[in-house]
Amino acid sequence: VLASITCTAPVNIAVIKYWGKRDENIILPLNSSLSGTLHQDDLKTTTTIVASEDYTEDELYLNGKKEDINAVRYQNVLKMIRSRATKLMDKKHCVHIASINNFPTAAGLASSASGYCCLVFSLAQMYGVEGDISAIARLGSGSACRSMYGGFVKWEMGVKEDGSDSIAIQVQPESHWPDMNIIVLVVNDKKKETSSTDGMQKSAATSVMMKERCAVTVPNRMRDIEEAINKKDFQTFGDITMKDSDDFHEVCATTTPPIYYLNDTSRYIMNLIHRYNKLSGSVKCAYTFDAGPNACIYLPAENTTEVLSLFMKHFPGDNIQTYYRGPKENIPSI
């Protein structure tokens, strides 16, 4: 064995959604996006990599199942890492990689984000890759670049064709707004029907909403939500978060053929939250849904007990699980 390493990386939950690519191969987005990074004690990927002269080929296992290492995304990542390596290049070798999520894969819980972030972070450690590596994580899965940092992170869409300016930038570290929690209500942990990759391609090609969203709506929201984060203004943050989630699902619904990620329980949660906020006279919590029915709820920590008891009243039983964003800085770590 020449080298071995184990790293972990956290999940991130977008409040301004990435949806649509301008380059399918090196994953360049049609719009910038912004997310909060979760607590990696709760939702995370752990990846172990071993490099050896005895291995005859690269291998990758995801939750114990062998993946096709020749898939273009894995190859793009491996090639980029090896081209920027400062270590291990003097000896002929291959790597064996094993990656495990402590949460359901492909259930709309951003498993590809923590997965590719962790893969790239561990490879970068092993090969001594310096400088920005978020653009390498982006080659694996767009949303993965945002998991490279804790706190609130934006992915700047960039304008260059080679993607060198399409990178993740930390807007604020976790310490800036530590009393912000995220509750995930797991409505359904089955694999989704339409993957994000397929869904966004179809939306970009057919939804009449895409043009306005990319040209006007998202740039305005990016500016406003960054300001809300800087000022710790939860009212504005929550409003924008829910609006962007609603619009994203509207884009999906106006895709041909239409894509529906939400189910009746998701819509029940949306109504419940709007009614609860209205009764409270302020935004107490804000939902956001990715490409699946599970709800992610952003809320100030002080509202957590009250909001949790509301959900427990409406969803008795054990199909609703809760996770927290927590106060620690969450970045990939060795």
Q: Which residue type does 284 have?
A: K
Integer angstrom CA distances of residue 313 from 283, 285, 316: 20, 16, 6
The reply on whether position 17 binds ligand DP6 by CB under 6 A is yes
User: Could you tell me the end-to-end alpha-carbon distance of the chain, in angstroms, rounded to an integer?
Assistant: 19
With CA atoms as reference, report the closest residue to 19 among 193, 252, 256, 192.
252
Distance, in Å, from the CA atom of 113 to the CA atom of 238, rounded to the nearest integer, reads 23
Q: Which of 122, 196, 265, 277 binds ligand DP6 (CB under 6 A)?
A: 196
The number of residues that bind ligand DP6 (CB under 6 A) is: 13
The reply on whether position 143 binds ligand DP6 by CB under 6 A is yes
Of 125-133, 138-146, 203-211, 212-220, the segment contacting ligand DP6 by CB under 6 A is 138-146
Contact 302, 169 (CB under 8 A): no
For ligand DP6, the closer of residues 30 and 51 by Cβ is: 30
The reply on whether position 14 binds ligand DP6 by CB under 6 A is yes
Integer angstrom CA distances of residue 4 from 122, 129, 172, 202: 9, 15, 32, 40
Structure tokens of 25?
């191969």
The reply on whether position 33 binds ligand DP6 by CB under 6 A is yes
The reply on whether position 45 binds ligand DP6 by CB under 6 A is no
In angstroms, give the least distance from the CB of 166 to ligand DP6.
11
Distance, in Å, from the CA atom of 54 to the CA atom of 56, rounded to the nearest integer, reads 6
Distance, in Å, from the CA atom of 257 to the CA atom of 5, rounded to the nearest integer, reads 44
Of 89-97, 139-147, 225-233, 249-257, the segment contacting ligand DP6 by CB under 6 A is 139-147
For ligand DP6, the closer of residues 33 and 255 by Cβ is: 33
Structure tokens of 118?
């962790």
* Alpha-helical segments (H) within 208-287: 210-212, 218-231, 234-253, 264-280
The reply on whether position 247 binds ligand DP6 by CB under 6 A is no
In angstroms, give the least distance from the CB of 54 to ligand DP6.
33
The reply on whether position 37 binds ligand DP6 by CB under 6 A is no
Integer angstrom CA distances of residue 98 from 6, 34, 41, 210, 235: 9, 29, 19, 38, 42
For ligand DP6, the closer of residues 22 and 84 by Cβ is: 22
The reply on whether position 238 binds ligand DP6 by CB under 6 A is no
Of 1-9, 10-18, 205-213, 322-330, the segment contacting ligand DP6 by CB under 6 A is 10-18
Instruction: Find the binding residues for ligand DP6 in span 283-302 (CB under 6 A).
Output: 290-291
The reply on whether position 184 binds ligand DP6 by CB under 6 A is no
The reply on whether position 27 binds ligand DP6 by CB under 6 A is yes
Distance, in Å, from the CA atom of 215 to the CA atom of 102, rounded to the nearest integer, reads 37
The reply on whether position 303 binds ligand DP6 by CB under 6 A is no
Of 11-19, 77-85, 172-180, 185-193, the segment contacting ligand DP6 by CB under 6 A is 11-19
Strand positions, DSSP E, the chain: 3-10, 12-16, 21-23, 28-29, 33-37, 44-52, 59-62, 65-66, 94-101, 152-155, 168-172, 180-185, 286-289, 295-300
The reply on whether position 221 binds ligand DP6 by CB under 6 A is no
The reply on whether position 119 binds ligand DP6 by CB under 6 A is no
For ligand DP6, the closer of residues 33 and 122 by Cβ is: 33
Q: Where on the chain is the footprint of ligand DP6 (CB under 6 A)?
A: 14, 17-18, 27, 33, 112, 141-143, 196-197, 290-291
